[in-house]
């Protein structure tokens, strides 16, 4: 083993190194805790091509640290299994070819215990690396890896819900909490916002500390002109969305974008949000606590961008663009439910001006996911993280009940294709002033 090099001046002191390692372990342990309630059979299930098995998420997040930190920066690092470079590469063409995404559920091997051993092996290597060489580039990549793993923690929960929600037994997620108490209906009100010349985005990307972090797609900070507008103080509720359905919202072509209307003509086209079903004359939905009656006052959830847009048009409103959303979020009120609470279901009764803009449900915007003026991706294979997906998707803002609080920042840009519904997605209305 090589000798530990003398720490350069720009490296943190021993206490700061300890903080970095503690943060690293906190995030890594959270992933393990999220799968703790599961049976081993649950960990290999892939219910659709867009959703990955929990076991794959555990391995891929480990692959990320191994590929982008240990291999290039820890000279004496020895991979546990060189074949994992291929198996757990998601989409990084600059790293090499990948095992087909749609076939991840076919991987009975490596076993769950072998994946956990892989995590232990990489975690040990990361401890050595941080103590030996915690320079600026290593810390930037480590912070990127931690936020990457938190993204996959959210995906693990939403993918698991899709698997359990499409299982005829509709099982509960281990010791998931029981359904929350019924919420009180709050009338829909709006906050008037002046518009004008606003700045959105972040100054810098991938800072050395958690509070400084942003993904490259949030940069650079730039100016946008906004006309005066109004933004709803809460997201659309279940009861309000039911009214849209009763008014033949899914059957009225004038409410839908052309692509959305074409989406509705498919043989398996929806007529309600994902996970909703009728039982004994009333509407229920699947939750990670098992099947539950719909709560009329809860935010409507698991709707596509097409459904969000159609509802907004029906309600005499529109979707906000992402600059409007971000400008308003700087004065947002009470947070909604987040992953940290382990409720895995939106709605805590937050009310007041611009309430629950963070948490509960991801909020669809009308903005295409595109680069900001002057955008520059990260160099090398890490540049594939965001930039190559900037086509044919919409931006969502705010986070959901499956999002870590560490992701709560005004500039965070999530993105999905308009038909996607398996994330915790909802809608907050906007209007011209």
Any idea which of 1-15, 233-247, 375-389 has the lowest mean pLDDT? 1-15
Q: What percentage of the chain's residues is helix, strand, coil (to nearest 5)?
A: 40, 10, 50
Cα separation, 254 vs 273, whole angstroms: 20
Are 312 and 368 in a shared domain?
A: yes
**What is residue 134's predicted lDDT score, i.e. its pLDDT?**
85
Q: Could you check whether the bond before residue 220 is cis, i.e. omega within 30 degrees of 0?
A: yes
Beta bridge partners of 248: none
pLDDT for residue 10 is more than 50: no
Are 160 and 199 in a shared domain?
A: no
Are 157 and 211 in a shared domain?
A: no
Identify whether 23 is part of a domain: yes
> What's the mean per-residue pLDDT of the chain?
93
> Do residues 395 and 368 touch, judged by C-beta distance below 8 A?
yes
Listed residue (155, 45, 167) closest to 423, CA to CA: 155
**More confidently predicted of 42 and 5:** 42
Cα separation, 421 vs 419, whole angstroms: 6
Identify whether 7 is part of a domain: no
For residue 394, the SS3 value is: strand
Per-residue pLDDT averaged across 95-99, rounded? 97
> Do residues 311 and 364 touch, judged by C-beta distance below 8 A?
no
Identify whether 176 is part of a domain: no
> Do residues 118 and 62 touch, judged by C-beta distance below 8 A?
yes
**What is residue 184's predicted lDDT score, i.e. its pLDDT?**
78
Identify whether 268 is part of a domain: yes
| Residue range of the domain that includes 366 | 190-432
Are 352 and 207 in a shared domain?
A: yes
Are 235 and 140 in a shared domain?
A: no
Identify whether 6 is part of a domain: no
Are 100 and 197 in a shared domain?
A: no
> Do residues 431 and 227 touch, judged by C-beta distance below 8 A?
no
Cα separation, 182 vs 294, whole angstroms: 9
Are 201 and 151 in a shared domain?
A: no
Contacting residues for 254 by C-beta, under 8 A, at least 6 apart: none
């Amino acid at each position: 083993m090589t000798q530990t090099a003398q720490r350069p001046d720009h490296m943190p002191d021993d206490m700061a190194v300890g903080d970095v390692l503690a943060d690293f372990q906190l995030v890594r342990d959270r992933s393990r805790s999220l799968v703790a309630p599961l049976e081993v059979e649950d960990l290999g299930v892939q219910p659709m091509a867009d959703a990955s098995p929990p076991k794959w998420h555990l391995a891929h997040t480990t692959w990320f640290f191994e590929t982008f930190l240990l291999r290039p920066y820890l000279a004496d690092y020895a991979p546990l299994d060189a074949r994992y470079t291929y198996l757990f590469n998601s989409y990084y063409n600059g790293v090499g070819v990948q095992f087909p995404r749609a076939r991840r559920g076919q991987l009975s091997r490596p076993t769950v215990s072998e994946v956990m051993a892989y995590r232990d092996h990489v975690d040990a290597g990361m401890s050595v690396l941080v103590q030996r060489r915690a320079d600026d580039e290593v810390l930037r990549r480590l912070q990127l890896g931690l936020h990457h793993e938190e993204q996959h923690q959210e995906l693990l929960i939403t993918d698991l819900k899709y698997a359990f929600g499409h299982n005829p037994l509709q099982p509960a997620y281990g010791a998931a909490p029981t359904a929350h108490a019924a919420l009180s209906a709050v009338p829909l009100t709006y906050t008037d916002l002046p518009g004008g010349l606003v700045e959105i985005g972040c100054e810098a990307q991938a800072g050395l500390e958690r509070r400084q972090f942003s993904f490259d797609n949030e940069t650079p900070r730039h100016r946008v002109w906004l006309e005066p507008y109004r933004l709803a103080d809460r997201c659309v509720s279940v009861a309000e969305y039911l009214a849209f359905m009763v008014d033949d919202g899914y059957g009225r072509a004038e409410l839908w974008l052309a692509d959305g209307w074409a989406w509705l003509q498919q043989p398996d086209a929806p007529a309600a949000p994902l996970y909703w079903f009728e039982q004994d004359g009333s509407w229920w939905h699947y939750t990670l606590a098992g099947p539950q009656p719909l709560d009329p006052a809860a935010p409507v959830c698991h709707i596509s961008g097409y459904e969000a847009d159609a509802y907004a048009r029906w309600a005499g409103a529109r979707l906000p663009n992402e600059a409007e959303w971000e400008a308003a979020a700087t004065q947002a009120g009470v947070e909604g439910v987040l992953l940290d609470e382990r409720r895995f279901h939106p709605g805590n009764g937050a009310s007041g001006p611009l309430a629950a803009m963070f948490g509960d449900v991801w909020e669809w915007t009308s903005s295409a996911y595109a680069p900001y003026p002057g955008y520059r991706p990260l160099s090398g294979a890490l540049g594939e993280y965001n930039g190559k997906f900037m086509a044919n998707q919409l931006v969502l803002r705010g986070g959901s009940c499956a999002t870590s609080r560490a992701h709560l920042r005004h500039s965070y840009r999530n993105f999905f294709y308009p038909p996607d519904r398996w994330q915790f997605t909802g809608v907050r209305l906007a209007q011209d002033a």
